[in-house]
Amino acid sequence: NRPLTKRICCIGAGYVGGPTCAVIAQQNPHIEVTVVDLDEVRIAQWRSSNLPIFEPGLSAIVEVTRDGTDGRQPNLFFSTAISAAIQQADIIFIAVNTPTKRMGVGAGSASDLGYVESAARMIANAAPADKIIVEKSTVPCGTAERLRSIFASLAPARSFSILSNPEFLAEGTAIKDLLNPDRVLIGSLKDDRSMSAARELASVYSWVPHDRVVHTNLYSSELAKLAANCLLAQRISSINSLSAICEATGADISEVANAVSLDQRIGRHMLKASAGFGGSCFKKDVLSLVYIAESLHLYDVANYWRAVNSINEHQKSRFTSRVISALHGTLLRKKITIFGWAYKKNTGDTRESASISVAAQLLAEGCELAVYDPQVSTNAQQIYRDLEDIGTNIRERVRVWDNAVDACVDACAVLILTEWDHFKTDMLADTSTLPENCTAASSDSGIDMLDDGLDLPTAKSVVHDAFNKSDRVDWCAIASVVQRPRLVFDGRGVVDPVALGALGFRVESIGKASVT
Ligand code: UDX
Ligand code: UDX
Ligand code: ADP
């Protein structure tokens, strides 16, 4: 049952387009996949050994599919020749960014479809014949309809089949998510031509069991993607709102979360209290849903979802206030160390990271910051760019370190804001046994990939990448360089307060009452 498709073009070589196409190419040696982007630097990076994004397991797949390192015919290409790739493709993915609008109607809430529209125009101008166009980017409901009207006006002689096929991968686990997705969602019109296009797209997901490929109408598919992200964000805000109650009482959020998660109707995922969710999706997609509800005059619905983001902002401020209060209400001439700048572990992505908001609020109090992140420290400029809205002297007041202990010298407090395994206080697993002992190592890094049905070489490379970044920091050495009373604020619930307490630290954890 080989798919008919021979060529795929993906417009957008970002966090979605890059890994998705790498896996499609890996799983379909007979399909040529070309990922195109306007950004020449990004494409040059995708063609190099220094990929533009860090994602466990990705580089091994790119090497095989792009370079043919295991004797395969290369079938993954990266290019800035957008028109040529569009012309040759049978299926075109649109995987461009859809940030929140910054100006005009809906500014600060609606999704900016400018990049989607520009990609559509490129297709209309370059495609010589009918093509299958696939919306991969997360878009508001009705975007497929808009695309249809763009094509109808720009290319009336050709009839493109438009499908919605949102991507559900999470960063840090993208390869695992792509290889073993909970579902592949394909939205289409119900006429014969559209259904045939939907079947052709489904055949690209050759490695996914048939019962996980879900067909819906276009609106449902677009709304389901937004809904999934909003519901996930809502769970985090729910648990975070409860963490505030825990801190003010004797309850412990991890005990509460565990107790409620045992109810099968609730389940255990996305219930980890934190200093706030980050990433390019949750805040933006909640805002997009709020905007859709408001546009439909459903103001109570809009307010309901708006609260998800409000609680997230509240959580970040609450965390910062706790730090300031423990440091006697003043941060002037004090040094604070931030552990973790990525918005979650196993990624170098910093978009909407809680660290950025917390850092901005701390800097406003007059302190100096030291930052250490196992991945982002290698790209200090990114941290300065993230803080550039704050104003002057950022480079004098924020120092980025590539070593955790050095970052902590004379610090009044250490703040953990990303859940890197690196910061954990348990024993460092023996990575030297990794090739033979993959399962043990993978479960330690929280990625049970063999259980998830990944083949052994892929599972090993995913674990290897994640693990390389997760050698534990030396808390003993940190104890000897920080200022007393050796304050640690754990915004991710990664350290054991008792273990650190034995080293002389005082640990303040999210969702647990303060130590007095
Ligand atoms: C609930 C809890 O389920 C139970 O664990 C707790 O001990 C008491 O409160 P109950 O109120 O008896 O139990 O019934 P439940 O099945 O939870 O339904 C409550 C209401 O929600 C009903 O009106 C039900 O029709 C409605 N409901 C439930 C929905 O509208 N949609 C759903 O998906 C589920
Ligand atoms: C999310 C969705 O999970 C994914 O399905 C969708 O395709 C894109 O958006 P992502 O943002 O990459 O993926 O990561 P996710 O693991 O969902 O985490 C988002 C943020 O929530 C991170 O900052 C994370 O640290 C935080 N989080 C997650 C919590 O604070 N608590 C949790 O229990 C889970
Ligand atoms: P995501 O996280 O959704 O993948 P990214 O911002 O990482 O988003 O990537 C989106 C990519 O899409 C960027 O590299 C951007 O340059 C690219 N892009 C945006 N518009 C176009 C376009 N019209 N043609 C080609 N590439 C585009």
pLDDT in tens, 355-378: 999 999 999 999 999 999 999 999
Q: How far is the CA of 116 from the centre of ligand 3 (A)?
A: 9
* Active-site residue flag, 225: yes
Q: What is the pLDDT of residue 450?
A: 57
Mean pLDDT of 471-499: 96
Radius of gyration of the chain (CA): 24
Residue of minimum CA distance from atom 3 in ligand 2: 170
Query: Do 153 and 190 lie in a common domain?
Result: yes
Q: Which of 32, 55, 135, 167 is catalytic?
A: 167
Query: Do 259 and 394 lie in a common domain?
Result: yes
Query: Do 451 and 336 lie in a common domain?
Result: no
Which DSSP string corresponds to 460-514? HHHHHHHHHT-PPP-HHHHHHHSPTT-EEEESSS-S-HHHHHHTT-EEEETTSPP
- pLDDT tier at 449, thresholds 50, 70, 90: low
17 lines ligand 2 (CB under 6 A): no
pLDDT at 470 over 60: no
What percentage of the chain has pLDDT greater than the value 70?
93
Query: Do 314 and 179 lie in a common domain?
Result: no
Tokens in use for 230?
Answer: 């909003």
Q: What is the pLDDT of residue 431?
A: 36
Q: How far is the CA of 255 from the centre of ligand 1 (A)?
A: 23
The answer to whether position 71 is within a domain reads yes
Question: 183-195: per-residue pLDDT in tens?
Answer: 999 999 999 999 9
Q: In residues, how long is the chain?
A: 516
Query: Do 313 and 404 lie in a common domain?
Result: yes
The answer to whether position 47 is within a domain reads yes
pLDDT at 448 over 80: no
Q: What whole-number distance in Å separates Cα of residue 339 and Cα of residue 476?
A: 16
Question: 108-160: per-residue pLDDT in tens?
Answer: 999 999 999 999 999 999 988 889 999 999 899 999 999 998 999 999 998 89
* Active-site residue flag, 101: no
Question: 239-276: per-residue pLDDT in tens?
Answer: 999 999 999 999 999 999 999 999 999 999 999 999 99
Q: What is the pLDDT of residue 399?
A: 97
Q: How far is the CA of 263 from the centre of ligand 1 (A)?
A: 13
* Active-site residue flag, 476: no
- The SS3 assignment for 72 reads coil
Query: Residue type at 442?
Result: S
Q: What whole-number distance in Å separates Cα of residue 163 and Cα of residue 148?
A: 10
Placement of tokens 């991968």 in the chain:
169
Q: Which of 136, 176, 225, 334 is catalytic?
A: 225
Residue of minimum CA distance from atom 7 in ligand 3: 14
324: containing domain: 232-426+472-509
Query: Do 259 and 402 lie in a common domain?
Result: yes
Ligand 3 atom nearest to 121, measured from its CA: 23
Question: 285-331: per-residue pLDDT in tens?
Answer: 999 999 999 999 999 999 999 999 999 999 999 999 999 999 999 99
Q: What whole-number distance in Å separates Cα of residue 276 and Cα of residue 360?
A: 14
Query: Do 359 and 257 lie in a common domain?
Result: yes
Mean pLDDT of 274-283: 97
Q: What is the best residue among 232, 286, 288, 314 to mutate for testing ligand 2's pocket, by most ligand atoms within 8 Å of CB? A: 232
Q: Is the ipTM of this complex over 0.95?
A: yes
346 lines ligand 2 (CB under 6 A): no
- pLDDT tier at 468, thresholds 50, 70, 90: low
Q: What is the pLDDT of residue 434?
A: 34
Residue at which a domain ends, from 189, 216, 243: 216
- pLDDT tier at 482, thresholds 50, 70, 90: very high
The answer to whether position 227 is within a domain reads no
Q: What whole-number distance in Å separates Cα of residue 38 and Cα of residue 403?
A: 35
Q: Which of 9, 230, 246, 281 is catalytic?
A: 281
Query: Do 197 and 210 lie in a common domain?
Result: yes
- Residue 62 CB neighbours (<10 A): 24
Query: Do 142 and 73 lie in a common domain?
Result: yes
Q: How far is the CA of 251 from the centre of ligand 1 (A)?
A: 25
- pLDDT tier at 460, thresholds 50, 70, 90: confident
272 lines ligand 2 (CB under 6 A): yes
The answer to whether position 222 is within a domain reads no
Question: 409-434: per-residue pLDDT in tens?
Answer: 999 999 999 999 999 997 433 333 33
The answer to whether position 25 is within a domain reads yes
Question: Taking the C-alpha atoms of 431, 436, 439 and 444 in order, what is their torsion angle to the nearest 10 degrees?
Answer: -10
- pLDDT tier at 390, thresholds 50, 70, 90: confident
CB 473 within 8 A of CB 423: yes
Query: Do 142 and 251 lie in a common domain?
Result: no
CB 82 within 8 A of CB 36: yes
What percentage of the chain has pLDDT greater than the value 90?
85
Total of domains in the chain: 3
pLDDT at 444 over 50: no
Placement of tokens 């196993």 in the chain:
346
Which DSSP string corresponds to 160-182? -EEEE------TTSHHHHHHS-S
The answer to whether position 224 is within a domain reads no
Mean pLDDT of 166-176: 97
Residues contacting residue 59 through CB under 8 Å, at least 6 positions apart: 49, 51, 461, 465
Nearest ligand to the C-alpha atom of residue 264: 1
Cα 502 to chain centroid distance, Å, stands at: 35
171 lines ligand 2 (CB under 6 A): yes
Number of H helices, E strands in the chain: 20, 14
pLDDT at 453 over 80: no
Q: What is the best residue among 11, 92, 97 to mutate for testing ligand 3's pocket, by most ligand atoms within 8 Å of CB? A: 97
Instruction: Return left, alpha or beta for 399; rule: phi > 0 is left, psi -120 to 50 is alpha, else beta.
Output: beta
237 lines ligand 2 (CB under 6 A): no
Ligand 3 shell residues, CB under 6 Å? 11-17, 36-39, 42, 82, 95-97, 115, 118-119, 122, 137, 280
User: For position 269, which CATH number holds?
Assistant: 3.40.50.720
pLDDT at 440 over 50: no
The answer to whether position 225 is within a domain reads no
The answer to whether position 137 is within a domain reads yes
Query: Do 146 and 269 lie in a common domain?
Result: no
Residue of minimum CA distance from atom 11 in ligand 2: 279
Query: Do 354 and 484 lie in a common domain?
Result: yes
Residue at which a domain ends, from 165, 189, 216: 216
Give the mean pLDDT of the chain.
Answer: 92
Q: What is the best residue among 53, 316, 318, 344 to mutate for testing ligand 2's pocket, by most ligand atoms within 8 Å of CB? A: 344
Alpha helix ranges (H) inside 155-273: 174-179, 192-204, 218-248, 253-261
Q: How far is the CA of 349 from the centre of ligand 2 (A)?
A: 12
* CA nearest to 57, candidates 13, 18, 94: 18
